[in-house]
Structures are given as structure tokens and as C-alpha cells.
Amino acid sequence: MTTITTTSLPAAEQLRDRVRAALRAVGATTALTPPGDPGLVASTPITGETLFSVPETTAEQADAAIAEAAQAFTTWRTTPPPVRGALVARLGELLVAHKSELAELVTIEAGKITSEALGEVQEMIDICQFAVGLSRQLYGKTIASERPGHRLMETWHPLGVVGVITAFNFPVAVWSWNTAIALVCGDTVVWKPSELTPLTALACQALIERAADDVGAPRGVSRLVLGSRDVGERLVDDPRVALLSATGSVRMGQQVGPRVAQRFGKALLELGGNNAAIVTPSADLDLAVRGIVFSAAGTAGQRCTTLRRLIVHRSIADELVGRIVDAYRQLPVGDPAAADTLVGPLIHETAYRDMVRALDTARTDGGEVFGGERRIFDGEAGDTSYYVAPAVVRMPAQTDVVHAETFAPILYVLTYDELDEAIALNNAVPQGLSSSIFTLDMREAERFMSAEGSDCGIANVNIGTSGAEIGGAFGGEKQTGGGRESGSDAWKAYMRRATNTVNYSSELPLAQGVHFG
Ligand code: UN1
């Protein structure tokens, strides 16, 4: 079912002007050419139109970018960490100064509503601040030695070049999580953004280069390569890339992981999620409804942390679903730059087709679907853009479609009677990124977070599954890939550890009491 709306979308020429102004403001000088010219297509999901052509990185240029980063590493690794922190501090200042322009590009290129786009840039500013503090805290342990006159300790050293592959849905924040941490750790970075978001990448690259110039760091500390799969594969296979940090689909991770392992490189994978929230009878339903609607419908269901499954106690299921459906009916869907919009567009037609297919399958499986219809706006762009009302689907059971991650705003609802059953449902999917429980019963909350509780990398209480702060380690288990990015001690993945045993005695006792000669 589709709904035709009478409001229209902005004209492509107007969006082009806004992109040019934002790129000019951040100091990006790459020449954009008219759509249809050779190069990478820069488009917008707001209207589904092509805005510009962007120069694509050739194989030789990609090789040169890795070489530059490898060269910069030779001096960056011995630059004192707090001095490295000064570069990240400068990047943070530039992000503060250009927050609105960068957010505007995120809105135009990824379709995020303004508030979420600003939030994404804030996440970049936050990780810069975190990383600056970290630059004075790359702590190693000292360890009790079993031998007299010996000291045992561990030291942390930079790894080398970090290849960063990012997805369209967080086109700037995920780069910054990796780059801010990698830079203070003494690594250098080569970034391959999603081919769907080259414009935001050009803006970030302009800012990091300016930050590098301002503090006297080599520009080679952070390079950008633009292109599709081939360019990413160069990072995957190049032995100069010590760590490959990749965000994207499980399928992508299944290809990337073994290829990096084959050459004994390190991989940090942040892949799909199929996140659930359990709602128990004691839950504060007002709060739960707000948390659920933001996590399930926010970002038009296109976060890896999006809430996709609701596991609700049978006694409150009708009431809760009724309230969510009511809230969904009131969600303004449309131009993400418009002040009152809460749900922007899907990224492209394929995302829409995937959503339609999933809803059809859910219906075949006995699901009862509320919402999910396409909204077509007046004018030409109506046909090429993909706006949908978020969907709620009451499922009789957790069928295959519920186990799959469809990157669209579909919330499947399942019911349970006993908490054990709810936890088993939470854990029954192949992915393990985020999860939450809404309850006022501390026993239930603690069980959910315990060893026999949620098997996810993120397990929340009384908040939704999305919208994590940068201070915690971000990532998940099982098919989510096991990597951890951003806060806590995630920095350790960006460094190598050396164990040092120092003998300051004049004897040579061997460990384990061994005598030799
Ligand atoms: C992602 O969707 O890849 O927790 C990252 C969140 C955001 C990050 C999501 N801070 O929803």
C-alpha cells in the first residue's frame, strides 16, 4: 500500500548548493563534476537523485595512499602520545566549529534527520575528547615476577597502518571512532568509506588534513580512498595494513575476516545486529514506549543497533503494541532536513525492496503487519525516493525472517510467559550486538545482564538498544564479529603488546625452576 502526500521534496539544485556551501565551509577542495561524468556517484536519498560525480581513487592512488600512511607511521609511532593527542584535540575543535555543516552533509547523503545528524557529529567530538585523555593513559601492567631481582611488565606499541572500512549509516562517526583512537595509539589510517557517502568523507578528510597542518603532523597520518569494493579489497589484502577495522554486513565480514587472517593481519569487525528488547510486566510502559519507538523507528531503522525484535510479556502485549502503533501513526515521515520530521528516507530502492520482501514473508508466516506503507511525495523525486512508515509486526513465532537483519524499520513482536523464555528468544538469533530489558524488578534486570542472560555485546536496562555513548566499548558477539570499538579499553586492539622481563640481578635464575648446565 502506498500513500501519496501533498508536500514536495527539495529540488536537486538546491541540495547541490547546500552541499557546495558545506564543503566550502570545511575547506574541501576536491572538484565535483556534474552527474553522469566518470567517477563515483554522489547521490541523496532525500530525492533519490544523483548530485555529483566524485573522483574515484585508482589502484595506483590507493597504493600510494597506503605507502604514504606507512611512511608517516615511521615518525608518528615515536611521536609522544600526548603530542599525538594534540592532533586529535585540534580535529575535535574543527568538528565543533563545523558541526552544522558536517551534519548537513550527513542529512543530505545518508538521509538522517537533523537532530540525529548533529548527534552523529557530537559523537565524533566526544570520541576526540576521549582519545585526547587516552593519549596520557596508554597504561601497561607490571606483573609480579617469580624470580628474584627481576621485573616483569608489559608495554603497548603502535601497530602500523589501520585500514578503516565504514558503512553508509554512520558515515562520519565510525571513521572518527577508529581514527581518533588509532592516531593517539600511534597508528596511521587509510579510510575507505561507503561508496554511498563520498561527500561526507571528503569533508572529514579536509578537516583532518587541516588539523594535521595546524599541529605540524604529516598528512599521511590519515588518508582517504574513494571507490567501491576493489578499493576496499586493496586494504584487506595489503600486508602493510596491520589492522583492518570493518563495519558493515555479516556477508562482508565473512569475506574480509578470513582474507585478513590468511595474511595474519588483525581484523576488527563490527557487523550486523538483530537487537531485541524484553518488556516485563513491571516495566514503566510510558518510558518503554519512548525507548522502543526511538530505537525501532529512529534513523528509519538503519542503525546496526536498531531495535528489530520486541519480546513482551503476554499480559501486557496488547496494550504495549497498541501504544506503539499509536505512536507510529504520529511519526512525521519526510524530508529529513525539515524541522518536525522524525523518520527520513531509506537509503535506496534496494533497501525498500528488502523491506517489502521481509513484510511479505512475515505475512506468509502468520504475522500481522501495522504500518510499513510507502509514502510517495509529489513531484518527480517522489518516484526515486523511498520513504516508508515504520512497521510493527505481531509474529506467532520467531521464524527465519525474524532471525534475519533487514535494514529497514520493521519491529517484530513476540510474546513470552517466563523470563527464561524471553532471554532464550533474545539469544536465538545469529547476531549478538545489542539488547535491552524494560523492567523495574532488579532480579530480572540483573539476570538479563548476568552470564545466563543476554549474549550480546551491549545489554541495557530501561533504555533502548541504540544510541550508545562512546565511553563504553562498542561491538558484539557471534555474527556481529566480536570487535570492540570506541571507549573503555577498545584501544588495545589498535596496539601491539610486548611483555618485558628485566633481570637487574647478577644471577640468571630460570623460570619454572629449570636448571641448565
Ligand atoms: C552503527 O549503527 O553502526 O549506538 C553504529 C548507536 C550509535 C552507533 C551506531 N552510537 O546507535
**Residue range 472-486: average pLDDT?**
98
pLDDT digits (tens, 9 = 90+) for 161-205: 999 999 999 999 999 999 999 999 999 999 999 999 999 999 999
pLDDT at 411: 98
Residue 48: partners with Cβ closer than 8 Å, 6 or more residues away: 345, 348, 349, 381, 383, 384, 385, 386
Confirm whether 116 is a catalytic residue.
Answer: no
Q: Length of the chain in residues, anyone?
A: 517
List 68, 109, 116, 270, catalytic entry = 270
Report the SS3 class of residue 158: strand
Amino acid at 4: I
Q: What are the boundaries of each domain within the chain? A: 12-271+482-497, 275-470
pLDDT of 427 over the 90 cut: yes
pLDDT of 382 over the 90 cut: no
pLDDT of 394 over the 80 cut: yes
pLDDT of 462 over the 80 cut: yes
**Residue range 336-350: average pLDDT?**
97
Domain covering 12-271+482-497 in this structure, CATH number: 3.40.605.10
**Residue range 314-332: average pLDDT?**
98
Whether the CB of 463 sits within 6 Å of ligand 1:
no
**0.95 surpassed by pTM:** yes
Q: How does the average pLDDT of the chain come out, rounded? A: 97
pLDDT at 186: 98
Whether the CB of 169 sits within 6 Å of ligand 1:
yes
Separation CA 187–CA 494 (nearest Å): 7
Separation CA 396–CA 258 (nearest Å): 37
Name the residue of 115, 466, 470 whose CB sits within 8 Å of the most ligand 1 atoms, as the mutation to test its pocket.
466
Helices (H), ranges, 193-249? 198-215, 229-237
Separation CA 171–CA 100 (nearest Å): 15
| DSSP summary character for residue 32 | P
Whether the Cβ atoms of residue 202 and residue 54 lie closer than 8 Å to each other = yes
**Residue range 106-124: average pLDDT?**
98
Pairing of strands 142-143, 410-416: unpaired
Grid cell 555474527 — which residue?
479
Name the residue of 295, 302, 305, 486 whose CB sits within 8 Å of the most ligand 1 atoms, as the mutation to test its pocket.
305
Report the SS3 class of residue 286: helix
pLDDT digits (tens, 9 = 90+) for 209-264: 999 999 999 999 999 999 999 999 999 999 999 999 999 999 999 999 999 999 99
**CATH class for the region spanning 275-470:** alpha beta
Could you tell me what percent of the chain has a pLDDT over 90?
97
| φ, ψ at 180 (rounded to 5°) | -60, -45
pLDDT of 1 over the 70 cut: no
Separation CA 433–CA 430 (nearest Å): 10
Whether the CB of 272 sits within 6 Å of ligand 1:
no
Whether the CB of 247 sits within 6 Å of ligand 1:
yes
